[in-house]
Structure 1
Amino acid sequence: MNANRRIRVMEIIARMNVGGPATQVMGLYRGLDRDAFDHRLYTGSVGEGESDRLRDADVPVRHVPGLHRAVSAGGDLRALAFLVQEMRDFRPDVVHTRTSKAGVLGRLASAVSGVGAARAHVYHGHLLHGYFSPAARAAYAGTERLLALMTRRLVTVGAKVRDDLLAAGIGRPEQYLVIPPGVAPEPAPPRDVARAALGLPPDAPVVAFVGRLTQIKRPDRLAATAEIVLRRFPGCRFVVCGGGELREELERRVRDARGSFAFLGWRDDVETVYAAADVVLLTSDNEGTPLSLVEAGMAGTPVVATDVGSVAEVVRDGETGLLARPDAAELAERTERLLADPALARRMGAAAKEWTTSAFGVRRLVADTEALYRSLRDPPAGGAPAGGAAR
């Protein structure tokens, strides 16, 4: 193989909606060394009501017909056939897949195409907890075990995600590589400017929730936490940035406290939300390495979050924020602690900014991923490829 030519990479993601995987792809695409890599991005369509990260972006993309989040026999077969043909035409050195659906179709297409590309799949989280019935969860784990057999590298965004997958029998330890997220946020505006932009009182306590309003994120727990906090801080405002199928249900749950809530929907200027908040709250049952917490830290805002997934790899408990069990009362107690002690919140926010900026920068993500691609094209003799930020 000619080591002097550009490494051809075919990256496949199911959809470029607002979320961690799409943010990673955009930062990576913009930062890759074009002299060393011929990187092509393939994606399906976002769902109805979802924000499309590509709408105003400068990232060229090849749309895959039939590739959607939901399972569809006809659509999935169209997507598979399209990807097979693209691989035979492009002849990539590396097939790099993200998200569950793209991971299945992309790796199967690579095997069917006969091109012989090295395969890497990224787990931005997993579906082992909180998503499926026991039978469906077993089917998911079984499918991932089989796919791992045809994958050179299994990449996770955090060590806890890796450990969960290994405990489920998915892949072998030597296949895994941990590459944490990398973010290049927009500069956060001053607090008073941010609050004016969002129509928030300049001096009220503000708690922000940023994310999809879907079951795994537990908006019901957000409502229960807010109910407790409002008893002690009746002037507190809860800002909800995001959308999803449970938005209307959440609005019904907080109807009696509607004046304390601001529902913003999806916003492109999420840095304004972080800047306006005293605390960013995460209430999920399961997470990978949440970019919302990285972004909050980079904006200098402390976090209160459930200690699930790789959250503890972003939030240093007692230093850059506070962690809690998945329990509304415990989340409320920690939120109240920060609201009652602005000096503590400022210290934690400053520590969070220093930590997240050093650990989760986009340049580090690009460097780790370029090392991964090189190791996949030119693996060391007699063993699995090295490279990247193995942890």
Structure 2
Amino acid sequence: MNGDTAKPHIVFLVTEDWYFVSHRLSIAKAALAAGFRVTVVTRVSDCERVIREAGVDVCHLPGQRGGLNPFQQLAYCLKVHRLYRRLRPDIVHHVAMKPVIYGSIAARLAGVRNVVNALGGLGFVFTSSAPKARLLRPFVHGLLRIAMAGARTLLILQNRDDRQMLVEGRVIDEQRVRMIRGVGVDVGRYPEPTLRTDQCLVILPARLLRDKGVVEFAMAARQLKADGVVARFALVGAPDEQNPASLTSQEVDGWVREGFIEAWGWRDDMQQVVAQADLVCLPSYREGLPKALLEACAAGKAIVTTDTPGCREVVEHGENGLLVPVRDVDALAAALRTLIADPALRHCYGLNGRRLAQTQFSEHAALAASLAVYRELVPSR
């Protein structure tokens, strides 16, 4: 382990190393620059080198995000508890539902007082209408209340709808909620948008989950292709076998064989992918504050998304994109048709979105807000 042990120590608990790199590494770098020592506890796959090169220590924690086996969940909690006792963090920062619940319990058992819980969204249990999700919802709600019970526990949320749900549900007092609008985006990394009139490329950049609206996107693409609309429709992402809402590779392959969808798989060059797109679509059922839409704004791309928590935080209907009802294939197809047919309108929406990213969703502001939360708990830094 590297670093000065006299520095205040922040430990992130994140289920997957790739997610940490994508959504939290910039915050970790900012904490390092501000004088903290940083460790991430995560399941290591392919990103350990990138994390360590940034100056962050890594502790491998095997485990699966999915699954409901209570013995496996207890084992996960105990492993985290042992790591916290060994690492002796000044602050723990839990990201997403499973780390928030079990990490908070482990922190309390290990005597860690300062807890930051971050929910990018409320996940499968709260977004899905599947019987399993409805059955689990009261149980998870109760566990969240336990997780948020610590006097020095702060909760970071990304949109007002989630705050209202959790405060009115008595999960946490409003005074301990901190609103940070996503991880932010650096507009300077993206080229200025230009008016393009070539064949329109529409992308859906997300894990291939049903609650991301992937099926609705595919059905809208099929409908538009059948109506003679000339455009390309690409899924940029991969199935997530550990998520119960995941599509299968066979389903996606079937769409590709039919010829109305392209499947680009998981990509680590999203700046380039978004830059070559003409239109970004995310018909999700519910989000925290989707990074994919922030990147679309920064790149100056028009957006079609759903009028749902998280998504409507980023898109103002008729200004930088179009909002459609959740699970409505016809409305989604109509919105896509409108923007595919009108390059000038797409360009106008894209310019408006880029200004929005500069003024409301800057990476600098998001990082400063995160550091303010840490300093609230450890005032000396």
TM-score (norm 2): 0.85
CA drift at 1:74 = 5.4
1:100 aligns with 2:97: yes
Structure 1 residues 330 and 273: alpha-carbon distance in aligned structure 2, compared to 1, 3 A threshold: same
> 1:112 maps to what in 2?
109
> 2:3 maps to what in 1?
none
CA drift at 1:307 = 1.3
Aligned mates of 2:120, 2:323 — CA distance in 1: 21
Aligned mates of 1:227, 1:167 — CA distance in 2: 41
List per-residue Cα deviations over 1:214-240 (Å, max 9, x = no partner): 121132101111123224553211111
List alignment gaps of at least 5 residues for structure 2. 1-5, 240-245
> 2:346 maps to what in 1?
345
CA contact (8 A) 1:216 1:284 kept: yes
Please list, as runs of the form range in 1=range in 2, the aligned pairs for 1:54-133 lying within 5 A after superposition.
54=48, 56-57=50-51, 58-59=53-54, 60-71=56-67, 73=70, 75-115=72-112, 117-127=113-123, 128-130=126-128, 132-133=132-133
Please list, as runs of the form range in 1=range in 2, the aligned pairs for 1:200-239 lying within 5 A after superposition.
203-239=198-234
Paired AA for residue 183 in structure 1:
V
> 2:254 maps to what in 1?
252
CA contact (8 A) 2:32 2:38 kept: no
> 2:26 maps to what in 1?
27
Structure 1 residues 352 and 236: alpha-carbon distance in aligned structure 2, compared to 1, 3 A threshold: same
Paired AA for residue 102 in structure 1:
P
List alignment gaps of at least 5 residues for structure 1. 47-51, 196-201, 380-391
Please list, as runs of the form range in 1=range in 2, the aligned pairs for 1:158-307 lying within 5 A after superposition.
158-181=159-182, 182-184=184-186, 187-188=189-190, 203-244=198-239, 245-246=246-247, 247-253=249-255, 255-256=257-258, 258=259, 260-307=260-307
CA contact (8 A) 2:187 2:358 kept: no
- Which SS does the other structure have where 2:301 is aligned? coil
CA contact (8 A) 2:200 2:340 kept: yes
Identical-pair percentage: 25
Aligned mates of 1:185, 1:112 — CA distance in 2: 42
CA drift at 1:44 = 2.2
Structure 1 residues 167 and 329: alpha-carbon distance in aligned structure 2, compared to 1, 3 A threshold: farther
Aligned mates of 1:184, 1:78 — CA distance in 2: 39
Aligned mates of 2:286, 2:371 — CA distance in 1: 29
List per-residue Cα deviations over 1:158-204 (Å, max 9, x = no partner): 22221222243321211211111123478446989xx9xxxxxx921
Structure 1 residues 61 and 308: alpha-carbon distance in aligned structure 2, compared to 1, 3 A threshold: farther
Structure 1 residues 82 and 64: alpha-carbon distance in aligned structure 2, compared to 1, 3 A threshold: farther
Please list, as runs of the form range in 1=range in 2, the aligned pairs for 1:353-364 lying within 5 A after superposition.
353-364=354-365
CA drift at 1:105 = 2.2
List 4+ stretches of structure 1 deviating above 6 A: 189-192
Aligned mates of 1:81, 1:250 — CA distance in 2: 38
Aligned mates of 2:43, 2:76 — CA distance in 1: 9
Aligned mates of 2:47, 2:352 — CA distance in 1: 30
Aligned mates of 1:215, 1:343 — CA distance in 2: 32
CA contact (8 A) 1:223 1:250 kept: no
Aligned mates of 2:227, 2:376 — CA distance in 1: 55
- Which SS does the other structure have where 1:313 is aligned? coil
> 1:377 maps to what in 2?
378
Aligned mates of 1:75, 1:225 — CA distance in 2: 40
- Which SS does the other structure have where 2:292 is aligned? helix
> 1:388 maps to what in 2?
none
Aligned mates of 1:27, 1:265 — CA distance in 2: 24
Aligned mates of 2:145, 2:290 — CA distance in 1: 25
Aligned mates of 1:221, 1:168 — CA distance in 2: 31
CA drift at 1:94 = 1.4
CA contact (8 A) 1:287 1:309 kept: yes
CA contact (8 A) 1:186 1:271 kept: no
List per-residue Cα deviations over 1:271-309 (Å, max 9, x = no partner): 222122221111211211111000111111110001112
CA contact (8 A) 2:118 2:156 kept: yes
CA drift at 1:68 = 2.5
Structure 1 residues 248 and 168: alpha-carbon distance in aligned structure 2, compared to 1, 3 A threshold: farther
CA contact (8 A) 1:320 1:351 kept: yes
- Which SS does the other structure have where 1:170 is aligned? coil
Aligned mates of 1:353, 1:292 — CA distance in 2: 13
